[in-house]
């Protein structure tokens, strides 16, 4: 059991960090292990790199501070070497997660691969507007730790996780960035039973996996479909036939947000749609936590794929 939430403002920017926190905190009972956000702000020329250098579970070990310092210097050196001009870099509280902005016009895959070659480094997200923030604990804990109150954006998706198939750690936390595609992210509630088949298939195509979590498949699968030239909606429709198991997942790009439900409608989703605002969540109480009143909502049926433009 996990909880997912998504929100799109079609009339401009809003306090997307605070809004997602309100929704995710109300669904804490669906997953207290970790909380994650994928938020989309105003795109600019700079590429936002969110990365981590260690698991929070491993912090405080012998020589860890020195190792983090060394690896951070290595990240900066490698960014310079590959031609990514560092504009800003800051460490989040906790010391293992970082946000950097770089001037970079090249291909994202070599950049991600080069950074992840550093021991313990995982690129959480890359893109012109995507910011993925995830950590252990409930939504308010993560909100405070990463100071999400100041984060503005047009749309975003979020996830509260109850770990069932893999570890309670940052690598297994959602959302997943669709490596190596800029600004594509996924959150998922459910279990995929043909995970190993698809993982082997995608690895042979050259994709990388950071975790043992079945949900990572969806992000990488969609990335591969986009690379093949399919639209997001078509790729999502194909996923209904390609994935076995039960799932409701949300996917976001710089300009779109979509939802797909499996053919048994085994995982919940409630949807509220107005001209300016589209909000969806695993449970209605999350939508109410945002709106603060009774709302008109509906439950999409099985095999529904819906997408919205920002």
What's the distance, CA 37 to chain centroid?
6
Query: Residue 283 interacts with other proteins (CB under 8 A)?
Result: yes
**Number of alpha carbons in the 13 Å side-chain half-sphere of residue 106:** 13
Instruction: Identify whether the C-beta of residue 174 lies closer than 8 Å to the C-beta of residue 188.
Output: yes
Query: Residue 294 interacts with other proteins (CB under 8 A)?
Result: yes
In terms of CB distance, is 86 or 306 closer to other proteins?
306
Work out the number of other CB atoms within 10 angstroms of the CB of residue 192.
27
Find the binder of other proteins among 265, 276, 277, 279 (CB under 8 A): 265
Q: Which entry of 1, 2, 129, 268 is annotated as an active-site residue?
A: 2
Distance CA 40, CA 102 (A): 17
In terms of CB distance, is 69 or 302 closer to other proteins?
302
Distance CA 59, CA 64 (A): 7
Query: Residue 268 interacts with other proteins (CB under 8 A)?
Result: yes
Q: Which long-range contacts (CB under 8 A, 24 or more apart) does 280-283 make?
A: 280/5, 280/6, 280/7, 280/250, 281/3, 281/4, 281/5, 281/6, 281/23, 281/27, 282/2, 282/3, 282/4, 282/5, 282/27, 282/30, 282/189, 282/248, 283/3, 283/26, 283/27, 283/30
Query: Residue 297 interacts with other proteins (CB under 8 A)?
Result: yes
Query: Residue 288 interacts with other proteins (CB under 8 A)?
Result: yes
Residue entry with tokens 């999400």? 148
Query: Residue 274 interacts with other proteins (CB under 8 A)?
Result: no
CB of 39 to other proteins, least distance (A): 25
CB of 279 to other proteins, least distance (A): 13
Query: Residue 302 interacts with other proteins (CB under 8 A)?
Result: yes
Residue 243: both structure tokens together: 């994935």
In terms of CB distance, is 66 or 296 closer to other proteins?
296
In terms of CB distance, is 86 or 246 closer to other proteins?
246
In terms of CB distance, is 32 or 94 closer to other proteins?
32
CB of 284 to other proteins, least distance (A): 4
Residue 71: both structure tokens together: 């690896």
Find the binder of other proteins among 105, 204, 275, 301 (CB under 8 A): 301
CB of 299 to other proteins, least distance (A): 5
Is 121 an annotated catalytic residue? no
**Number of alpha carbons in the 13 Å side-chain half-sphere of residue 87:** 11
Site for other proteins in 213-242 (CB under 8 A): none
- Residues known to be catalytic: 2
Q: Footprint of other proteins on this chain (CB under 8 A)?
A: 263-266, 268, 270, 283-285, 288, 294, 296-299, 301-302
């Amino acid at each position: 059991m996990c909880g997912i939430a998504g929100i799109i403002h079609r009339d401009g920017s809003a306090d997307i960090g605070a809004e997602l926190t309100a929704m995710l905190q109300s669904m804490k009972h669906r997953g207290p292990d970790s909380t994650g956000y994928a938020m989309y702000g105003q795109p600019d020329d700079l590429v936002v790199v969110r990365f981590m250098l260690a698991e929070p579970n491993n912090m405080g070990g012998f020589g860890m501070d020195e190792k983090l310092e060394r690896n951070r210097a290595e990240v900066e050196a490698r960014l310079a070497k590959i031609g990514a001009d560092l504009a800003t870099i800051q460490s989040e509280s906790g010391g293992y997660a970082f946000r950097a902005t770089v001037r970079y016009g090249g291909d994202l895959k070599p950049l991600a691969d080069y950074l992840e070659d550093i021991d313990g480094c995982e690129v959480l997200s890359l893109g012109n507007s995507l910011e993925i923030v995830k950590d252990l604990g409930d939504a308010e804990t993560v909100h405070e730790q990463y100071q999400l109150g100041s984060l503005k954006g047009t749309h975003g998706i979020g996830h509260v996780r109850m770990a069932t198939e893999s570890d309670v750690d940052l690598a297994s936390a959602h959302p997943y960035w669709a490596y190596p595609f800029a600004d594509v992210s996924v959150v998922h509630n459910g279990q995929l039973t043909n995970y190993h088949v698809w993982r082997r298939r995608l690895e042979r195509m050259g994709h990388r996996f950071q975790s043992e979590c079945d949900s990572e498949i969806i992000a990488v699968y969609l990335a591969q479909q986009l690379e093949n030239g399919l639209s997001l909606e078509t790729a999502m429709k194909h996923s209904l036939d390609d994935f076995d198991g039960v799932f409701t997942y949300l996917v976001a790009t710089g300009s779109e947000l979509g939802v797909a439900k499996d053919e048994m409608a085994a995982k919940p989703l409630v949807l509220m749609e107005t001209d300016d605002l589209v909000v969806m969540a695993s449970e209605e109480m999350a939508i109410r936590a945002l709106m603060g009143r009774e709302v008109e909502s509906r439950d999409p049926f099985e095999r529904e794929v819906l997408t919205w433009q920002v």
